[in-house]
Amino acid sequence: MLARLQALDSKARRRGVAGLEPALNELIRIGMEAMPGGAVARNCYGLFHLSWLAPRHPEWPSAVLNELDEVKAAIKAEHRVPLKYVIWAGAGGSIEDKAMYLASDLLKRGPKQYILDSTDPVKLKAILADIKRRSSSLESALKSTLVVGLAMEQATHEAVLNLEKLAALYDELGIESKPNILCLARSGSALDELAARRGYIQAAVQLDGGDTTTGRHSAPMSRSSLYALGLAGTPLGDWIGATYLSKGQIQTAFRLAAFLHQQGLSGRDKVTLVLSPTLKGAAHWTKQNVEGSLAKTGETGIKIVIGEPLRMADYRAPKDPRQDRVFLLVSRKGEPAAAGLKTSLLRRCGYPLASLAFAPGASLSQYLQFIHYVVFALGWLRETNFVTQPGVDECTSLTNSLYQNSVFQGGIANTVDWKNLHDSQRQIRGHSGLVLHYDHLPCGFQLSGRTAASAYAALVHQLAAAGVVEYGELAFFGDTRYDAAGIKLRRILERAAGQLFRDGLSLPADVAEGPAVNHSCHEMVVGHGRCLSTLLISEKAESIAGVGCGADYHRAQFLANLIAQERRARLVVSITLRDLSEPSLRSLEEFFREAAAHIRRSR
């Protein structure tokens, strides 16, 4: 298999993809993008061949550092200040690796790095407030800031919108922005065109100059991934070298894929991932990589469950026909066993479990590359293209259509879709402006005559009891990374996930920030289904005065998620909050607490 893959990729890089026939080779069908007529449009095996090519290019680590030195020198020459801050502007998988490196404490040295993965003005305001707090003024802070726009896909618009806002801010303050904005984008994308138009620094997405890596496969070897680590002083030679796996390691990845595939065929497709402390920061990256790559059909899915405490009380008995969990433990040799005695208990009780141990001190990049091989093998076994994201693409298309309509209508609040959400009879009002909307559910669901919390509890309980729903999703469309109120709201959702789904119904539940971090969840929710998705948003729209920074695109993404799920007959409700004030947050927490109490009484 490995030899066939290397031969195909080599041919595609040498001769191009025009002569490739998907009908004759399944490796083409599962790892390349095709045009509507079936012709191959793009080879997407860069996630492997960058590692294979690295031994022939020992100059790559120094090349990355030299490029970063040039960027720093340009900022110093223009503004006479050193580089202090980096803002990564992108969305979904192309920026998830930076979040992982932050969570893994790999970016503690060097300039402070921020994640701007949403067009919600609240997130950008929070980032700007923090860099201003660390500097004498916002003007001096922006002079010391590098903004990196990322667009690994042609249709990515978040980076363009955020770069336009930041460019307008530089212009308003009279600061030359050309040395401060760098774009890593696919040729011909909207971001690529913006960079050319404004004269921003541009660099190829890959060190080999190719365009064969999708967003969620950008770690560990794309330029953006290496830039983030290089700025923090990570030894790039060691990092790159660790991605070249031995045949034995690749075989282990294939064995793990076969195990997970067979468990999935037997109905155990909820992979509860337990990472040791030194690898824990990679949990969400693993989730978005696996789910975003493989969860496209109603027949087969694979859910990566993260962030849960190991609690036997939350799981169905091993012999229960509804038991759909399989456990994956990952650590480095010599580390304390992940979750200790509880994992031994899981094994003794008869739960399916796989244990994976890397060498002591193994680089995180080795783990990331290993997971790529697992995903590839699962794609082969399931005859699934693991590089496309039809669910996310559909939602992006819907968002752009809704947003363009909002421009013509004078704002998203004036559009038919926003008005329908608020004017529908299928809604129940709670306390302090909280409203439960169920207008995107099939019409057979009638929840009127109940309180908002009891209606939600009845819906969750009945769907779970009928086996229609196997997990939940709680996604807030707003900032949960930097904004204080958003951080509080996320904690409320995490408690609700435990009380409602895990404790109440023995179901896993995702807590996500939409639309950026729930890209992987969205592909699973829309493609595979079997989820009750609850999307939340604040009615109060923030803005940044003077730079045309409104919330309409972000709200269009919220609506697009609802519409996309309804079109696929998926189960989705929404909750709107008046704002994120303390009364509103208390009302939300009470809503979930009351719903959990109803579920406990129903058991």
Structure tokens at 193: 């065109």
Q: pLDDT-based confidence at 235, cuts 50/70/90?
A: very high
Q: What is the C-alpha to C-alpha distance for residues 533 and 531, in angstroms, rounded to an integer?
A: 6
The length of the chain, given as a count of residues: 603
Provide CB contacts within 8 A for 241, sequence distance 6+. Answer: 54
Residue 546 has pLDDT above 60, yes or no: yes
Provide CB contacts within 8 A for 497, sequence distance 6+. Answer: 472, 474, 509, 510, 511
Q: Residues 12, 20: contact at Cβ < 8 Å?
A: yes
The whole-angstrom distance between residue 174's C-alpha and the CA centroid of its chain comes to: 35
The kind and range of the H/E element at 270 are: strand 270-275
Q: pLDDT-based confidence at 553, cuts 50/70/90?
A: very high
Give pLDDT, residue 341.
Answer: 62
> Which residue from 515, 466, 458, 397 is spatially nearest to 117, judged by alpha carbons?
515
State the distance between the two ends of the chain, measured CA to CA, in whole angstroms.
Answer: 50
Sign of CA dihedral 169, 171, 175, 178: positive
Residue 520 has pLDDT above 60, yes or no: no
pLDDT digits (tens, 9 = 90+) for 86-119: 999 998 888 999 999 999 999 999 999 999 999 9
3-state secondary structure 44-55: CCHHHHHHHHHH
Q: Considering the chain, what percentage of its residues have pLDDT values greater than 90? A: 80
Q: Which residue has the tokens 């919108």?
A: 161
Region 354-380: mean pLDDT is 96
Give pLDDT, residue 324.
Answer: 95
Q: What is the C-alpha to C-alpha distance for residues 563 and 557, in angstroms, rounded to an integer?
A: 10
Structure tokens at 336: 């304390």
Q: Which residue ranges form the domains of the chain, and what is each CATH number?
A: 1-33 (no CATH), 49-241 (3.40.50.10490), 246-382 (3.40.50.10490), 390-602 (3.40.50)
Residue 161 has pLDDT above 80, yes or no: yes
Quote the DSSP letter at residue 559. H
Give pLDDT, residue 526.
Answer: 78
pLDDT digits (tens, 9 = 90+) for 180-231: 999 999 888 889 999 999 999 999 999 999 989 988 899 999 999 999 999 9
Q: Residues 470, 278: contact at Cβ < 8 Å?
A: no
Give pLDDT, residue 238.
Answer: 97
Q: What is the C-alpha to C-alpha distance for residues 223 and 206, in angstroms, rounded to an integer?
A: 5
Region 573-597: mean pLDDT is 97
Q: Considering the chain, what percentage of its residues have pLDDT values greater than 70? A: 97
pLDDT digits (tens, 9 = 90+) for 477-504: 999 999 999 999 999 999 999 999 999 8
Q: In a 10 Å sphere around its CB, with 0-12 CB exposed, 13-18 middle and 19+ buried, how is residue 177 labelled?
A: buried
Region 381-387: mean pLDDT is 94
Residue 602 has pLDDT above 90, yes or no: no
Give pLDDT, residue 10.
Answer: 95
DSSP-assigned beta bridge partners for residue 116: 89
In the three-class reduction of DSSP (H, G, I as helix; E, B as strand; rest coil), residue 169 is classed as helix
| Residue 114 one-letter amino acid | Y
Look at 240-244, 321-325, 336-340, 587-591 and tell me which has the smallest mean pLDDT.
336-340
Give pLDDT, residue 493.
Answer: 98
In the three-class reduction of DSSP (H, G, I as helix; E, B as strand; rest coil), residue 575 is classed as strand
Give pLDDT, residue 403.
Answer: 93
3-state secondary structure 324-345: CEEEEEEEECCCCCCCCHHHHH
> Which residue from 200, 199, 166 is spatially nearest to 87, judged by alpha carbons?
166
Region 512-541: mean pLDDT is 82
Structure tokens at 415: 């559009």
CA dist 565 to 290, 346, 384, 397, 524, Å?
Answer: 20, 35, 21, 14, 11
| Residue 255 one-letter amino acid | R
Give pLDDT, residue 316.
Answer: 93
- Considering the chain, what is the average pLDDT of its residues? 92
Give pLDDT, residue 299.
Answer: 77
Give pLDDT, residue 296.
Answer: 73
| Residue 449 one-letter amino acid | G
Give pLDDT, residue 561.
Answer: 92
Give pLDDT, residue 518.
Answer: 53
Prediction pTM value: 0.95
Give pLDDT, residue 337.
Answer: 58
How many helices (H) and strands (E) would you count in the chain?
A: 23, 17
Residue 435 has pLDDT above 70, yes or no: yes
Structure tokens at 189: 């994308």
Give pLDDT, residue 525.
Answer: 76
Q: Which residue has the tokens 């919220």?
A: 558
144: region left, alpha or beta (phi > 0 left; psi from -120 to 50 alpha): alpha
Structure tokens at 307: 């962030």
> Which residue from 232, 172, 221 is spatially nearest to 60, judged by alpha carbons?
221
Q: Residues 578, 540: contact at Cβ < 8 Å?
A: yes
Backbone φ and ψ for 182, nearest 5 degrees, come out as: -120, 135
Region 564-586: mean pLDDT is 95
Give pLDDT, residue 93.
Answer: 85
Quote the DSSP letter at residue 473. E
- Measured N-to-C along each axis, helices 46-53 and 364-382 cross at an angle, to the nearest 10 degrees, of 140
Q: Residues 328, 354: contact at Cβ < 8 Å?
A: yes
Q: What is the C-alpha to C-alpha distance for residues 149 and 142, in angstroms, rounded to an integer?
A: 15
Give pLDDT, residue 582.
Answer: 97
Q: In a 10 Å sphere around its CB, with 0-12 CB exposed, 13-18 middle and 19+ buried, how is residue 184 labelled?
A: buried
Q: Residues 131, 510: contact at Cβ < 8 Å?
A: no
Q: Residues 274, 339: contact at Cβ < 8 Å?
A: yes
Sign of CA dihedral 312, 314, 320, 324: negative
Q: Which residue has the tokens 């305001």?
A: 125
Structure tokens at 297: 């059909």
Q: What is the C-alpha to C-alpha distance for residues 35 and 83, in angstroms, rounded to an integer?
A: 42
Region 321-341: mean pLDDT is 83
